[in-house]
Amino acid sequence: MFAPSAPRALPNTFSSADSAFCPLCGRRTDALLLELERNLEPHIERALREKYPQWNPARGTCPRCILDAVTNTQRARYPESIHHEILSPFPIYSRDETALLATPARVHAYSQFTGRGVVIAFLDSGFYPHPDLTKPYNRILAHIDATVKEPVERPNFKRPAVTGWHGLMTSCVAAGNGFLSNYQYRGIASDAQLVLVKTGNRRGRRIHEDDIYRALNWVIHNQHRYNIRIVNLSIGGDIVSDGTLTALDELVEEASARGMAVVCAVGNGGLEQVVPPASAPSAITVGGLDDRNSLERAHHRLYHSNFGRGGNFKAKPDLIAPAMWLAAPMLPQTWVYNEGQYLWKLAHASDAELKKLLQTRAAVKRFKKETLASSLDEIRRVIRLRMFEQKYIHAHYQHVDGTSMAAPIVSSVVAQMLEANPSLAPAQIEKILCDTAIPLENFPRERQGHGVLNAAHAVAYALRASGGVLEYQPLSPHVQDDAVTFRYYDAKAQRVLLVGEWNGWKPQRLREYAGVWQLSIPRPKRGAYAYKFLIERETRVEWRGDPENLQRAQDGAGGFFSLLDVSR
C-alpha cells in the first residue's frame, strides 16, 4: 500500500492515444488510462462497486472516478487511530487499511533514485546477510569484525546472533529491497551497496567510544578500497558533550573532511544531552518523528529524541526523520521470528484451516487449554493481541522504532542524493538536507533542528547543485503567469508523457535532452488538477506522480497523483 505504482506491461494504446469512454461516468478518456486503472486497492474497488453495481473492474475506470472514490473513502476515515480497538499492530484510521506505510511513501522519496552505485558503511553491534540485502544479488561488499584490536574481514556471518538484530534492522531500513515482502517493505536506497562493520568489544558489553573510534578509523583507512561515501552510526558513546571536541568527534570531522557523509542517531531518552559521535559538528545528526503511520501532517508528533548542544556548541539534532512504525526484518531462526511466522499463518487461515491448525502439537504447546476451548472469534482475538504486543506486521517483518532507525532513513536519502549528483561534498549534503527540511509546527525547534526530512526536495536540490543535470532549473511544476513547465529526470526512459485533467486526461509528450524531459503547457484556469507521468521503458509502462511536487493524492492503486495548484 502506498508504494509507487508497479510497472505494467506496455499497452498497445500507448502510441495511439485512442479515444474511449469511462464505463462508470461516461466521460471521454484515453483507452490507455483504462488499461492502467484496472488493479485497484480492494477498498477502492469495493467503493466503486457500491456506487456502480453493474461495473466490471476488468474494464477499468477513468482517473477522475478513482479520485472521487479515494476522496469519499478518506472522508470516512476516523480522526484518530483505531488500532487499539481492533488490535492492529500499528495505527490505522479505517478498517480497510491493512498495511503499514512503506518508508519511501512516508518521506515522499524521489522514486527514480535507489542509491545505485553508492556505498554505505554501517557501524553497528552486529549484522546478518538477510535476503533483503542478498537477493536477487548480494549487495554486501564486506563484513568487518572491529570488535578485536585489529579489525579483520569475516565473510562468514550467516549464523544468527543476538548482537546481529540491531545492525540487521538499521541496514535493511536504509537499503533493504523488501525481497521477503514481495518488495513492499523496501528501504529507499534499495540498490546501494554495503560495508558492514561489527562494532563493540569481545566482552559483549555495551559499545564504548573507543570501540566506535576503532571501527570508524578502519572505515577511514579503507574508504577508497570500497569507495565508501556514507557512514551510518546508529550507536552512541559514553560522555555527554560539553562543547569541546572529543577524540571521536575529531575522527568524525576527519571522515567528513575526507568526503564521507557521516549520519548519526541522536538518541532516544528525550533528554537535553548529546553524546559522540552525534555531537560532532559535521555529523548529520538525526532526531525522531512519530508520524502515526499517517501521511496527514496533523497526526505528526515529535519522537522522544535527545537534543542539545554538541561539539563547538552546535545545536543538535540537525533534522528529524520517521522513528516509529518502521518495517524491518526479523532475525531468522530466533524465537521471535518463529513465533511471527506461526502467528501470521494462523491469522490468515480460513476457519476450517484454523480448526485443523489448532489441533496440532504446536498449538497445544503454544496456547492455554482454556484458549483452545474458546470460540474461533476469541482465539483470533488472542492471536491478534499477541501480534499487537510483538509488533508483527508480516510473516518476516516487525515494526521498529528509535532514532537508530531514523538515521538510516536519512542515510538512504543521502545515497539518493549522491546517485543524482556524485560531486556533492558532505557539507553540501548537510546544507541541502537542512534547507529543504520542513519544520513541524507547534513543536519546539530545539528538539527538531531544521525540521522533518523532505526526501523529494533533498534529491531535487542535489540535481540542481553545481554539477547536477538540472543545475539552476526551477522545481517541477514551475507555474508562471502564462505557462506551467514540467520537468522529469530519467536517463533510462524511452519516452515520457504527461497526463492531467486540465485537458481531459489527454496524454502530452515531453521532449528530452540528456535525460531531462520537459514540457510547457498554457496555464490552466484557476483550480487544482491531478496529473501523472507515463514513462515508457523497453517493454513496460510506469505510471508515476511528479517526484518533485509535494502536493499529492492517493491514486487508489498504491501510488499517488500529483496536484497542480494554480489557485494563486
DSSP assignment string, 475-487: PSSEE-SSEEEEE
Whether 319 is in a domain gets the answer yes
Whether 54 is in a domain gets the answer yes
* Bridge partners of residue 21, in order along the sequence: 28
* Bridge partners of residue 172, in order along the sequence: none
What's the CA gap between 8 and 547, in Å, rounded? 19
373 and 404 belong to one structural domain:
no
241 and 338 belong to one structural domain:
no
Whether 385 is in a domain gets the answer yes
Whether 96 is in a domain gets the answer no
Asked which of 36, 54, 86 is the last residue of a domain, the reply is 86
* Letter string b/e over residues 448-468, b meaning 16 or more CB atoms within 10 A of that residue's CB: bbbbbbbbbbbbbbbbbbeeb
389 and 404 belong to one structural domain:
no
* Bridge partners of residue 321, in order along the sequence: 288
Tell me how crowded residue 525 is: count the other CB atoms within 10 A of its CB. 8
Asked which of 376, 395, 414 is the last residue of a domain, the reply is 395
Give the type of residue at 62: C
> What tens-digit pLDDT sequence spans the chain (568 residues)?
334 444 444 444 444 446 688 999 998 888 888 888 778 988 899 999 999 999 999 888 999 999 999 999 988 899 999 999 999 999 999 988 778 999 999 999 999 999 999 999 999 999 999 999 999 999 999 999 999 999 999 999 999 999 999 999 999 999 999 999 999 999 999 999 999 999 999 887 789 999 999 999 999 999 999 999 999 999 999 999 999 999 999 999 999 999 999 999 999 999 999 999 999 999 999 999 999 999 999 999 999 999 999 999 999 999 999 999 999 999 999 999 999 999 999 999 999 999 999 999 999 999 999 999 999 999 999 999 999 999 999 999 999 999 999 999 999 999 999 999 999 999 999 999 999 999 999 999 999 999 999 999 999 999 999 999 999 899 999 999 999 999 999 988 999 999 999 998 999 999 999 999 999 999 999 999 999 999 998 878 889 999 999 999 999 988 999 999 998 7
Residue at grid coordinates 542517531: 265
Whether 142 is in a domain gets the answer yes
Domain that includes residue 491, residue range: 478-565
Whether 473 is in a domain gets the answer no
Tell me if residue 184 falls in helix, strand or coil: coil
278 and 356 belong to one structural domain:
no
67 and 192 belong to one structural domain:
no
Q: Where are the strands (E) in 60-139, listed by range?
A: 119-124
* Letter string b/e over residues 349-386, b meaning 16 or more CB atoms within 10 A of that residue's CB: beeeebeeebeeeebeebbeeeeeeeeeeebbebbbeb
CA angle 394–400–405, rounded 5-degree value: 130
Q: Determine how β-strand 478-479 pairs with β-strand 483-489.
A: antiparallel
What's the CA gap between 412 and 177, in Å, rounded? 12
Tell me if residue 401 falls in helix, strand or coil: coil
Residue 170 maps to which CATH number? Answer: 3.40.50.200
- DSSP-assigned states of every residue in 442-454: TS-HHHHTT-B--
How many domains does the structure of the chain reveal? 4
316 and 422 belong to one structural domain:
yes
Residue 493 maps to which CATH number? Answer: 2.60.40.10
143 and 278 belong to one structural domain:
yes
Q: Determine how β-strand 8-9 pairs with β-strand 540-544.
A: antiparallel
190 neighbors 115 (Cβ within 8 angstroms) = yes
Asked which of 364, 379, 395 is the last residue of a domain, the reply is 395
Question: The pTM is what?
Answer: 0.95
The helix (H) or strand (E) run that includes residue 287 is strand 284-290
The helix (H) or strand (E) run that includes residue 417 is helix 403-420
Tell me how crowded residue 97 is: count the other CB atoms within 10 A of its CB. 23
Q: What is the DSSP letter of 331?
A: P
* Bridge partners of residue 327, in order along the sequence: 399
Residue at grid coordinates 518521506: 107
310 and 343 belong to one structural domain:
no
Residue among 280, 226, 292, 323 nearest 80 (CA): 292
436 and 538 belong to one structural domain:
no
What's the CA gap between 63 and 554, in Å, rounded? 11
Distance between first and last Cα of the chain: 33
- DSSP-assigned states of every residue in 369-400: HHHHTS-HHHHHHHHHHHHHHHTB-SSSEEEE
Q: Could you give the C-alpha distances from 374 to 355, 358, 379, in angstroms and in order?
A: 11, 11, 6
308 and 425 belong to one structural domain:
yes
Whether 1 is in a domain gets the answer no
125 and 252 belong to one structural domain:
yes
Whether 505 is in a domain gets the answer yes
Q: Determine how β-strand 516-522 pairs with β-strand 528-536.
A: unpaired
154 neighbors 195 (Cβ within 8 angstroms) = no
341 and 421 belong to one structural domain:
no
